[in-house]
Chains A and B, each alone.
Chain A
C-alpha cells in the first residue's frame, strides 16, 4: 500500500515507519530532519500542510494517509504563538490534508488523537470510548482533540474510512523504569502497530457514516486498568493486543 505518514520525523512517526516499512511504499512528511529510515520504498517530503498545493503533491498516488497529529519540532518559542500554530495545524492543516486526500481518491485515513482528554475524570471509573471527552485547555491536548473532530467530519461527508486513535502517553517501555507508572502509558511500538492495523479497515463503502468512522483507545494492557482497550463491542481494533505492558513496573506496585 502507498502510505503518506505525517509527522514522520517525530518519535511516533519513526515507530510507524519501522512498523510499515516492510511491504509498503511510504512517503514520509516531516518538517525537521529526514528520518534515518531510508530505502527504495521510502521517500521524504517537506512543506507546509496548510498549503493546498503542497498537500496535493503530498497525497498524489497515495492510497492511505496516516496523520500522526504530532506537533512539529519547530514551534515558535512564544507560548501564544505556539498555541496559535498548533491550533491552525490541527484544524485547518487537517482539513487541507484530508480534503486533498479526498480529491486524490484516497479511501483510508488515520488520525492520531490523544487519550489525555480523559485525564479530568477521577481514577475510580473505567474509561472506554463511550465517555465524553473533557479536554483541558492545554494547547497540546485541546488542539489534538480538535484535530480529531475535524478528521471525523470527513467520514460523515465522504465515502472514506476514517480512524481516530486516541493514544495514551507515548513512552518506550525500556525508558519507563525510573518513573512512577502511569495509567495511560503506551509504548511507541504498540501505537505504531495500531496505526498499521487501522489501515486494514475496509469501511469506506459503509452506508452509515458512523460505520465509516472508527474510534479506538490505545494504551498498555495493565492490571486494573482505568483506560479500557477493546472492551466495548464495535470499538475493537481488529488484531490489536499491546505487547509492551510495563509488567516489571506494574508488578512492583504503583498507581
Chain B
C-alpha cells in the first residue's frame, strides 16, 4: 500500500475524501490546524521548507490540498511558496508522484463556450487565482525537469453527492462530489505517468451541459463519476 502524505488534511476538502481513500493507501495527515474529529496529525507549515521536506521523507506520494485564498501575504506564502517547497522536496527526496490542487481558472471567462477542457487560464489578479496559477507553473517546471509525475486537479464547486431528487434547479456547471473526487485521487496515485509529467484535470461530476468537460480525466486517468448525477436534477413530466 502506497504511503501518501496529505498536506492540508484539515481543510475544507480533504476530510471529506479521506474516509473513501483510506482503504486504498496509507494516508499520513498533515496541517497546521487540528483535524475535525481530533485525529492526530503532523504539524506542517507550508512556509517552512524543512517542515515540508521532513514530513515528505519516506513517502511514495504527496497530495497538496493546502491553500490560503484571501490574505495578501499568506496566499503567496502558502499557495505559491508552499508549492515550491513541495516540488523542491520531491526533487530532493526522489518522490515521483505529486497530486496538486487548486481552483479552475476559466470560469466566467469561458462560461459562454462549450466543450472546455484544456484552455488558456485566465486567473486575473485576485489572490486566490494568481497565487495558485503561479503554483501550477512551479509544479509544471519541476515535474518536467525532475520527472515527477504531477497530477493537478482543478476545482470550482465541491460538495456532498445528492441522494434524492432536486427539483426546480439546474446543476452547477463545474462541480465535483466528494465520492468522485476520492476516486479521482486514487486513480491519480495509481497512474504510472501522465503526458509531459504534468497535467491539469477539470474535476467535475456532471457534464450534461457539454460545457466544462471531464474528457481528459476520462481519457488519461480512466476517471468516471460513480453515477450519472444529472439524473437527480430531472424535471417531472
Instruction: Give the interface of A toward B (CB within 8 A).
Output: 52, 80, 83-84, 87-88, 91-92, 95-96, 98-99, 134-137, 142, 145-146, 149-150, 153-154, 156-158
B119 at the interface (CB under 8 A from A): no
Q: Mark B124-149, 1 if CB is under 8 A from A, else 0.
A: 11000011011001100110111000
Complex Cα spacing A84 to B46, Å: 12
**Complex: chain B residue closest to A210, CB-CB:** B120
Asked if residues A149 and B141 are in contact (CB atoms below 8 Å), the reply is no
A215 to B104, CA, bound (A): 25
Verify B130–A135 contact, CB threshold 8 A. Answer: no
Asked whether, in the complex, the Cβ of A146 is within 8 Å of the Cβ of B81, the reply is no
By the criterion CB–CB under 8 Å, are B76 and A134 in contact?
A: no
Residues B49 and A149 in contact, CB atoms below 8 Å apart = no
B73 in contact (CB, < 8 A): yes
The verdict on B21 contacting chain A, using a C-beta distance below 8 Å, is: no
Distance A132 CA – B125 CA, assembled complex (angstroms): 22
Find out whether the CB atom of A137 lies under 8 angstroms from the CB atom of B145. Answer: yes
Is chain B's binding surface mostly helix, strand, loop or mixed?
Answer: helix
Kindly state the separation between the CA atoms of A142 and B134 in the bound complex, as whole angstroms.
Answer: 10
What's the least CB distance linking A25 to chain B, in Å?
Answer: 27
* Chain B contacts with A in 59-98, Cβ cutoff 8 A: 72-73, 76-77, 80-81, 84, 88, 91
Contacting A at CB under 8 A, from B141-179, are 141-142, 144-146
- Looking at the assembled complex, report how far the CB atom of A211 sits from the nearest CB atom of chain B, in whole angstroms: 15
A90 — nearest CB in chain B belongs to which residue?
B134
B residues with a Cβ closer than 8 A to A are 49, 72-73, 76-77, 80-81, 84, 88, 91, 122-125, 130-131, 133-134, 137-138, 141-142, 144-146
The answer on a CB contact under 8 Å between B138 and A88 is no
- Assuming the contacts A92-B73, A136-B145, asked whether A87 and B137 have C-beta atoms less than 8 A apart, the reply is no
Give the residue of A80, A87, A135, A153 whose beta carbon is less than 8 angstroms from that of B125.
A153
The smallest beta-carbon distance between B203 and chain A, in angstroms, is 23
Evaluate contact between A142 and B81: CB separation under 8 angstroms. no
Do B124 and A157 touch (CB < 8 A)? yes
CA A145 – CA B140 in complex, angstroms?
13
Q: Is the CB of A80 within 8 A of B138?
A: no
Whether B137 pairs with A145 at a CB distance below 8 angstroms is yes
How far apart sit A137 and B81, CA to CA, in the bound complex (Å)? 13
Question: When chains A and B are docked, how far (Å) is the Cα of A156 from the Cα of B121?
Answer: 11
25 pairs across A/B with beta carbons < 8 Å? A84-B49, A84-B81, A87-B80, A87-B84, A88-B77, A88-B81, A91-B80, A91-B134, A92-B73, A92-B76, A95-B76, A95-B130, A98-B125, A135-B141, A137-B91, A137-B146, A145-B137, A146-B80, A146-B134, A149-B134, A150-B134, A153-B133, A154-B125, A157-B125, A158-B125
Q: Is the CB of B144 within 8 A of A150?
A: no
3 closest residue pairs by CB, A with B? A92-B76, A157-B125, A157-B124
